[in-house]
A and B are shown apart, each in its own frame.
Chain A
């Protein structure tokens, strides 16, 4: 029972549906990528995507990274579109630098920006950047008065001794996640977080060994649900940098889970962000083997954000004569006549109806003193309705290897015309359809989820509803009644 509770708690903490398998995503390489230059670290910003690129943007001097001999990075913006994307352009000249700029993060309204930049911005002789020019985080606020971004100010933990970079601001703007190779970490770059204390950021806190490894962790993205996405080449993945996610359970980060293909690949996959509303997202990858590119992804299996625990339909009622005074000392016997054909004698009786419907209850009274029978002394019209919810009709306890039938036909939703049913059996397998069969291969407590999607309205919008219930799977030879 505790295990079930923990599973439920875990799901509730996630605030999202159960982890989806990779094959449930579709990915698409976005059209504004270039073959020659890198595009990576996208974020959503007011209907646009803001990202980093080292594409050439001036006909004059182009500074190069002396290590790779590539142009340095700037921040670009591109208008987001479903089918067509706009033409990329520099995000804002305020952030144009002689050296690397980006990645960035915005607050919820898009009025504040934190971005990565080389700390030294003065030009040296020549047109390359030296190795000791560390990365730092800078902050700027959009001035409505001026109609532009204010002059950036450095993050208080910027240093010439180490880099801080890749900021990600939490939705409540109280936490700033970033990476750094500062001393005291676990190796390479680690992910840190600062908490806003008054008007300034508190001391950086390393997220600990569950997140950080001896290798590198990059590109944290803190989702509004509290889930942290990041990239790492230290956790076990598919190869090179992979994207992982973790969440806090009871205040501790749980072991990171790698995203499945096609999001992760054997190439560098990194810098994943998720749109808070659409549940689709963007990430970066060099899988094209030409340069870093930005990809979009969207779940094929819909996410059911607001799943609730399924309530059993309760058709059991207690019937009593509500006017009788306790001071009455005489004896009457009641006969309860139900329109489903049941008759029960008793002062207070229980009756369970088979299904929802309209029922009539009649009360006959037998005077035990005189023997007289008074028929139909009272009548009650009872309307029984199933709970308005998605309904999973299935056994609660099954055996390993047993074929189980799941049925969603008893779903009872108001103003909701169901177009599709989605089953998640809690063991990583999913299917679709109003009915499903499934076989569990291992004993345990499983959370089964059924989500339904409505038909599209005139504007093409759909609604989703979902429930979950627990199923106990016993190993062979166990008495299933123990699970009841």
Chain B
């Protein structure tokens, strides 16, 4: 029964989703981030690898494309470390095990995290052609992905890894029905178990990620890396006005646990990254993941399941002299 409810939730939510830029608008994250393997982790990347999963709904049968914005490492968007000497690989996997393999759902690129069938791969170095521009993978047939009923569609895995060098690669994805334009796929979504991204430089911008809380979740632990004490991490939900979490310093991890409220089951949490105003921190790259009480990673959906959670204020009134 629970499974049915769970699936229904996703299916219901799926009808309202439209794929998708990654990061999505509601996340307000400027770029994903992956550094070359020779970079110091103090630059913000703990493992020089980032895995994203794209969900193509079963109902979508026509080919689609995965587009990468600014896939190269050089030019305006990326972060130089001395001189441009970095190469990154984009590899797209589908088929059996692409998602379901346990190693694929970890936070570290270890074991058989490249599971599934390699459908496409391309390595980028400094390449002005793709600086501030799009590169398109595909077309892919949706059925080339791994069918995961729980998510209501076919899953494709994208691994971006630093291959050479020590510069930072800043990029975005878009799952599109067109090779040359960003045209959303209705009902699509994307998620990751660990998010490595670039914070805004503008201290007034607030970024968000939205881990989904299923009915098995009793408590969660958030763990973040290299926050550089750049402001606060605050959790908001339908029942939680704002819980401050521990943020990490430079090149270190920090974490804390908190209990899940009954009203939060079946909704997403809103992890807000609120930058420090003074002094402003620029080019801050961070990593974050969230686990449940079993140590299982919670997926961050770029389009939050159930919508962006909003705390519902309620006015209580009582007689002063009661």
Contact = CB atoms under 8 A, between A and B. Distances in A.
Given A369-B232, A369-B274, A324 B317 contact: no
Nearest to A330: B242
A322 interface: yes
B319 interface: yes
Contact of A318 (B242, B244, B274, B317): B317
A470 B322 CA distance: 22
A318 B239 CA distance: 22
Given A329-B244, A330-B244, A322 B316 contact: yes
Contacts of B2: none
Interface stretch (A2-10, A44-52, A88-96, A373-381): A373-381
Given A369-B232, A370-B274, A322 B315 contact: yes
B258 interface: yes
A314 B321 contact: yes
A361 B242 contact: no
Nearest to A378: B313
Interface in A303-346: 314, 316-325, 327-330, 332
A329 B247 CA distance: 14
B230 to A, nearest CB: 13
Contact of B317 (A314, A365, A380): A380
Interface in B230-244: 232, 234, 239-244
Interface string B239-271: 111111000000000000011010000000000
A320 B321 CA distance: 15
A321 B242 CA distance: 13
B243 A330 contact: yes
B239 A325 contact: yes
Contacts of B216: none
A323 B311 CA distance: 9
A317 B319 contact: yes
A361 B241 contact: no
Interface string A365-405: 10101100000011110100000000000000000000000
A322 B243 CA distance: 16
Contact of A320 (B244, B274, B316): B316
A379 B242 CA distance: 20
Nearest to B258: A327
Among A314, A329, A350, residue most surrounded by chain B Cβ atoms (within 10 Å): A329
Contacts of B242: 328-330, 332, 367
Interface string B75-118: 00000000000000000000000000000000000000000000
B30 to A, nearest CB: 18
Which DSSP category, helix, strand, loop or mixed, fits chain A's interface? strand
Contacts of A316: 319-321
A350 B322 CA distance: 13
Contact of A377 (B234, B259, B261, B313): B313
A97 B244 CA distance: 100
Nearest to A350: B320
A363 interface: yes
Contacts of B321: 314, 316
Nearest to B237: A325
A373 to B, nearest CB: 13
Contacts of B61: none
Nearest to A377: B313
B3 interface: no
A59 interface: no
A314 B321 CA distance: 8
Contacts of B314: 321-323, 378
Q: How large is the interface on B (under 10, 10 to 19, 20 to 34, 35 or more residues)?
A: 20 to 34
A318 B320 contact: yes
A380 B319 contact: no
Interface in A103-143: none
B319 A314 contact: yes
Contact of B312 (A314, A319, A323): A323
B313 A328 contact: no
Contacts of B119: none
Given A330-B234, A369-B274, A370-B206, A319 B317 contact: yes
Interface in A213-246: none
A352 interface: yes
A330 to B, nearest CB: 3
Contacts of B240: 325, 328
A332 B241 contact: yes
A117 to B, nearest CB: 62
Interface in A283-320: 314, 316-320
B318 A323 contact: no
Interface in B198-253: 204, 206, 232, 234, 239-244
Contacts of A367: 242
Contacts of B320: 314, 316-318, 350, 352
Nearest to A364: B313
B315 A378 contact: yes
A316 B261 CA distance: 33
Among B234, B241, B244, B318, residue most surrounded by chain A Cβ atoms (within 10 Å): B241
Nearest to B236: A330
Contacts of B311: 323
A317 B322 CA distance: 9
A375 to B, nearest CB: 11
Nearest to A379: B315
Given A327-B258, A332-B242, A369 B316 contact: no
A350 B232 CA distance: 32
B233 to A, nearest CB: 10
A323 B313 contact: yes
B243 A363 contact: no
Contacts of A361: 315, 317
Nearest to B316: A322
A382 B274 contact: no
Contacts of A363: 313, 315
Contact of B316 (A314, A321, A327, A350): A321
A380 B241 contact: no
Contacts of A319: 315-317
B271 to A, nearest CB: 13
Closest 5 CB pairs of A and B: A322-B316, A330-B242, A316-B320, A378-B313, A380-B315
24 contacts: A314-B320, A316-B320, A317-B317, A318-B318, A318-B320, A319-B317, A320-B315, A321-B315, A323-B312, A324-B241, A325-B241, A327-B259, A328-B243, A330-B244, A332-B242, A350-B320, A361-B315, A367-B242, A369-B234, A369-B274, A370-B206, A370-B274, A378-B314, A379-B315
Given A318-B320, A379-B315, 19 more contacts: A314-B320, A316-B321, A318-B318, A319-B315, A319-B316, A324-B241, A325-B241, A325-B261, A328-B240, A328-B242, A332-B241, A363-B313, A363-B315, A365-B313, A377-B313, A378-B312, A378-B314, A380-B317, A382-B317
